[in-house]
Amino acid sequence: MSEILCEIISIGDELLIGQVVNTNSSWMAAELNKAGIRVNKITAIADEGSEIIDAIKQAESQSNVILLTGGLGPTKDDITKNVLADYFNSDIIFHEPTYKHIKSLFSKRNYKVTEVNKHQALLPEKCTPLFNSNGTAPGMWFDIGKTVIISMPGVPFEMRGLMIDEVIPRLSKKYNLPSIYHKTVMTTGIGESMLAEHIDSWASSLPSHIKLAYLPQPGIVRLRLSASGPDENKLKNEIDDYCDKLSVLIPKIIFGYNDITLEEVVGSLLKKDEVTLSTAESCTGGYIAHLITSIAGSSNYFKGSIVSYDNDVKVNQLKVNSGDIEKYGAVSQQVVEQMAIGGKEVLKTDYCLATSGIAGPQGGTEEKPVGTVWIAIATPTGVKSKLFNLGEHRGRNIRRSTLGALEMLRRELAKI
Amino acid sequence: MSEILCEIISIGDELLIGQVVNTNSSWMAAELNKAGIRVNKITAIADEGSEIIDAIKQAESQSNVILLTGGLGPTKDDITKNVLADYFNSDIIFHEPTYKHIKSLFSKRNYKVTEVNKHQALLPEKCTPLFNSNGTAPGMWFDIGKTVIISMPGVPFEMRGLMIDEVIPRLSKKYNLPSIYHKTVMTTGIGESMLAEHIDSWASSLPSHIKLAYLPQPGIVRLRLSASGPDENKLKNEIDDYCDKLSVLIPKIIFGYNDITLEEVVGSLLKKDEVTLSTAESCTGGYIAHLITSIAGSSNYFKGSIVSYDNDVKVNQLKVNSGDIEKYGAVSQQVVEQMAIGGKEVLKTDYCLATSGIAGPQGGTEEKPVGTVWIAIATPTGVKSKLFNLGEHRGRNIRRSTLGALEMLRRELAKI
């Protein structure tokens, strides 16, 4: 059949006063695209009946699938529900399974079900209720021939659950969508344009039914491969083959697949090798330790960090030679290597990452401008270090130094 | 005059595939609201001429001010510019001042001006060019009686510069908008609903031309006061008076005004008192040190941190009594106070913040469930500690523990 077009309509005054960023609609757009549905418009409107009606009418003239979020729940007077009942000229009926679900959710939390909560089980007769496992307000599916109008709550995790469990599978079935397979290749260490040059021949070799998208983030470039066709298994094998070829072409800079983070990857490697890590941070100010410890279970391999912002801390805690700080400066290969060795020794770990740099905006010199960063890694067999030049922005310098350090550790552990 | 309504139209395929979150439009909506212009719709559409025309036509039937972002620049084929020239039936002319600006930007960066760059200086004759100090593509202002259509680049910092320097002042003048004065009160330590109860009588005493909005973030609630009227000075004095009254009502929980962060506030207090800080972090894993060092100039008062994830580090580096860890557990008042005292001593600072808690998802017990966090502060005269119960989510526990620690320091330094 012809292409399925979709419009997303987000309902909520909070979006129009700029209080809330509309992350729901970008998440939904990504999921719909993955499922093979093109989003041709995203609209945000007020909690206002007439505006909701206008927006639906406009969308109906352009799209097959209309997804509404928000405007449900007691504080919004369930405006979306009432507007849709009117629009479809539908009676409102009491939906017993929804009420049972509300009662069971409330009893788990030891809350009492009030009259207001009971209202959530009142639904337009003409809709198919969609089960919301994460909340009290069900989704509503209005099937009108070639078009479908779907309403969901605006609470992000409730909407996401409904999309994954109900909306996407039902849309795939209704429109007989082809199978789509996606795989994201995570890379770090080189920028988007240089990466594109490196993999140009590989990218040109992709068949027309496999699409490649570059998704850059600070310090990381994701490559998303998507293929559609009748046979999902075949697509998966095909994309896996192309990924294997890519990993031969750029073996070092791929750190994982499908949105894994660098801190997760090094965490798994440390766990697998049963080795421990510490950090000795100057310019990153504890951010490496923070990312490492943001992973659940990191206490199995991370012992601690000495954040040595002050040179005295480098000397007293990390056993850096004070004469070398004077001679070479705190931002130097000599000092950062001593920091890594010292951190490894005093924190009694197998590996230690150390950073020393000029994050900015002050502190730069002609010889060592803002963005000059030395990173070292002490390993069971020695110490290695590397110089980076990361630019002028303090926050980005801290983030990029941290990714650079994690990547050095990953390569060391993966022996590449 | 009657209310000015605005529609924001964001142009870009990247928005419709969910690759980019539309932060531009929420930022613009917030700025427009501050200036007294109500946003009644936000739309995202593709880089497609016919869709841009359709969106403008629809917007013209509902709004006076239509703001377009994106679809400019060489990689987008300057689609917005060409569509607008067609729409207004306007010739395209070479705009000499824009070309001069492009040349000067490029010579600063030692780049050569190419033919492609020269194209940026071609503009529809019927527009007023808006000077873009941060980039090469100027804004375009089309004045058509009561309505105005404005096009800006989609690059966030270029768009923001144009909005602040050109668009908002021109809109204020064109529509003779009343003066608007805003002040945001930053609070931490209690949740939105309890805060609302506390300040109920004060909120009810606000005159009708002063609006109050609650803007909650994790661990922080912002209160925004906005007033409009003919005399800006009078509005400012009035709002300042109400803020003074509020600070008498809730003296402890207000940590600042107008989007200042807790780490900035404690940084200023430490600097003012010429005292130094260190941290001894267990469950926060370096996040306090990270927030502190994200502030430029923090090396003046922050000496370093010992992140003691492992109990050995608590004993060896922070001089915590190992018998007490065995007796009371690492998450205990006894241990966290010793961590703070030890950190202060070994890092030679005036103050030290220490945290020890169960961030989760593992490690909880019946007696000490996930979210149990002890925070201590060592001061020049002693040590204080406090127990928190922060819930089940690891990331939010780390964030809330960190804010709790910074707030303890703030109250200590501010002597409240």
Which pLDDT band holds residue B75 (cuts at 50, 70, 90)?
low
| Record: contact B25-A44, CB cut-off 8 A | yes
pLDDT value of residue B136: 85
| B177 or A167, higher pLDDT | A167
Q: Which residues of A touch B15 (CB under 8 A)?
A: 26, 29, 42
CATH code of the domain covering residue A77? 3.40.980.10
| Record: contact B33-A17, CB cut-off 8 A | yes
Residue B56 has phi, psi (to 5 degrees) of -65, -45
| Record: contact A296-B23, CB cut-off 8 A | no
| Record: contact B307-A305, CB cut-off 8 A | yes
B171 vs B152: CA distance, rounded Å: 15
Among A228, A257, A286, give the residue marking a domain's end.
A257
Same domain, B73 and B220: no
Pairing of strands A38-45, B38-45: antiparallel
Residue in A closest to B287 by C-alpha: A290
Q: Is B293 in contact with B279 (CB distance < 8 Å)? A: no
pLDDT value of residue B117: 79
Q: Which residues of A touch B30 (CB under 8 A)?
A: 17-19
Same domain, B249 and B290: no
A24 vs A300: CA distance, rounded Å: 35
pLDDT for B116 beyond 80: no
Same domain, A145 and A191: no
Percent of chain A, pLDDT > 70?
99
Summarised one tens digit per residue, pLDDT across range B342-364 is 999 999 999 999 999 999 999 99
Angle, helices A394-414/A262-273, rounded to nearest 10 degrees: 30
Assign B1 to helix, strand or coil.
coil
Summarised one tens digit per residue, pLDDT across range A24-56 is 999 999 999 888 899 999 999 998 999 999 999
Q: Which residues contact A76 (CB under 8 A, 6 or more apart)?
A: A12, A47, A70
pLDDT value of residue B355: 98
Same domain, B355 and B237: no
Summarised one tens digit per residue, pLDDT across range B22-43 is 999 999 999 998 888 999 999 9
| Record: contact A16-B360, CB cut-off 8 A | no
Pick A309's closest partner by Cβ from B23, B293, B394: B293
A358 vs A381: CA distance, rounded Å: 29
**b/e map of A193-226 (b: 16 or more CB within 10 Å)?**
eebeebbeeeeeebeeebebeebeeebbbbbbbb
Which pLDDT band holds residue B192 (cuts at 50, 70, 90)?
confident
| Record: contact A289-B292, CB cut-off 8 A | no
Among B233, B257, B281, give the residue marking a domain's end.
B257
Distance from CA of A355 to the nearest CA of B (A): 13
pLDDT value of residue A96: 94
Q: How many domains does chain A have?
A: 3
Distance from CA of A276 to the nearest CA of B (A): 11
pLDDT for B152 beyond 90: yes
Q: Residues B65-85: what's their mean pLDDT? A: 87
Same domain, B222 and B278: no
Pick A21's closest partner by Cβ from B23, B40, B45: B23
B interface mutation test: which of A221, A259, A293, A331 has the most B CBs within 10 A?
Answer: A293
Q: Which residues of A touch B41 (CB under 8 A)?
A: 16, 43-45, 51
Share the mean pLDDT of chain B. 93
Q: Which residues of B touch A44 (CB under 8 A)?
A: 25, 41-43
Question: Model-level pTM?
Answer: 0.83
pLDDT value of residue B170: 97
Same domain, A161 and A183: no
Which pLDDT band holds residue A328 (cuts at 50, 70, 90)?
very high
Angle, helices B262-273/B394-414, rounded to nearest 10 degrees: 30
Percent of chain A, pLDDT > 90?
74
A375 vs A408: CA distance, rounded Å: 9
| Record: contact A317-B306, CB cut-off 8 A | yes
Residue in A closest to B308 by C-alpha: A304
User: In one letter, which amino acid is A15?
Assistant: L
Q: Which residues of B touch A312 (CB under 8 A)?
A: 303, 348
CATH code of the domain covering residue A210? 3.30.70.2860
| B78 or A237, higher pLDDT | A237
Q: Is A307 in contact with B286 (CB distance < 8 Å)? A: yes
| Record: contact A19-B317, CB cut-off 8 A | no
Assign B43 to helix, strand or coil.
strand
Reduced DSSP (H G I as helix, E B as strand, rest coil) percent helix, strand, coil of chain B, to 5: 45, 25, 30
| Record: contact B44-A30, CB cut-off 8 A | no
Same domain, A105 and A132: yes
Residue A291 token pair: 């990312």
pLDDT value of residue A2: 65
Distance from CA of A203 to the nearest CA of B (A): 20
Q: Which residues contact B240 (CB under 8 A, 6 or more apart)?
A: B183
Among B237, B257, B277, give the residue marking a domain's end.
B257
| Record: contact B38-A16, CB cut-off 8 A | yes
Distance from CA of A300 to the nearest CA of B (A): 9
Pick B286's closest partner by Cβ from A215, A286, A303: A286
Tell me whether residue A250 is exposed, middle or buried, using C-beta atoms within 10 angstroms of its C-beta: 0 to 12, 13 to 18, 19 or more: middle
Same domain, B101 and B245: no
Q: Residues A61-66: what's their mean pLDDT? A: 95
Which pLDDT band holds residue B390 (cuts at 50, 70, 90)?
confident
A169 vs A179: CA distance, rounded Å: 11
Q: Which residues contact A38 (CB under 8 A, 6 or more apart)?
A: A3, A4, A5, A6, A32, B16
Summarised one tens digit per residue, pLDDT across range A149-207 is 999 999 888 999 999 999 999 999 999 988 788 899 999 988 887 898 899 999 999 99
Q: Residues B287-310: what's their mean pLDDT? A: 97
Summarised one tens digit per residue, pLDDT across range A383-400 is 999 999 987 889 989 999
Q: Residues B372-395: what's their mean pLDDT? A: 94
Half-sphere exposure of B219 (CA within 13 A, CB side): 20
Same domain, A12 and A160: yes
User: Cα–Cα distances in Å, from B321 out to B112, B279, B318?
Assistant: 66, 18, 9
| Record: contact A309-B286, CB cut-off 8 A | no
- The top-scoring range by mean pLDDT among B114-118, B212-216, B317-321, B393-397 is B317-321
pLDDT value of residue B1: 45
Distance from CA of B125 to the nearest CA of A (A): 30
Same domain, B59 and B161: yes
Task: Note if the bond before B218 is cis, omega within 30 degrees.
Answer: no
Distance from CA of A346 to the nearest CA of B (A): 8
Q: Is B85 in contact with B170 (CB distance < 8 Å)? A: no
User: Cα–Cα distances in Å, from B239 out to A328, B184, B204, B242, B258?
Assistant: 54, 10, 14, 5, 13
B106 vs A190: CA distance, rounded Å: 25
How many interface pairs between A and B have CB atoms less than 8 angstroms apart? 226
**Nearest-5° Cα angle at A41, A36 to A43:** 130
Q: Which residues of B touch A293 (CB under 8 A)?
A: 285-287, 307, 309, 359, 398
Pick B313's closest partner by Cβ from A23, A304, A362: A304
pLDDT for A230 beyond 90: no
CATH code of the domain covering residue A330? 3.90.950.20
Q: In angstroms, how far is the first alpha carbon of chain A from the final one?
A: 48
Share the mean pLDDT of chain A. 93
Distance from CA of A126 to the nearest CA of B (A): 29
Instruction: Name the strand (E) or helix (H) holding A303.
Output: strand A302-308
Pick A309's closest partner by Cβ from B26, B303, B363: B303
ipTM for the complex? Answer: 0.83
pLDDT for B181 beyond 90: no
Residue A265 token pair: 């990857």
Q: Residues B271-290: what's their mean pLDDT? A: 98
B262 vs B411: CA distance, rounded Å: 11
Same domain, B268 and B405: yes
pLDDT for A110 beyond 80: no
Q: Which residues of B touch A23 (CB under 8 A)?
A: 21
Q: Residues A136-158: what's their mean pLDDT? A: 93
B interface mutation test: which of A11, A16, A58, A192 has the most B CBs within 10 A?
Answer: A16
Domain that holds residue B235: 179-257
pLDDT value of residue A76: 67
Q: Residues B129-147: what's their mean pLDDT? A: 92
Task: Note if the bond before B361 is cis, omega within 30 degrees.
Answer: yes
B interface mutation test: which of A23, A26, A275, A276 has the most B CBs within 10 A?
Answer: A26
Same domain, B114 and B161: yes
Residue B114 token pair: 């190419």
Q: Which residues of B touch A16 (CB under 8 A)?
A: 29, 38-42
Q: Which residues of A touch B313 (CB under 8 A)?
A: 303-304, 347
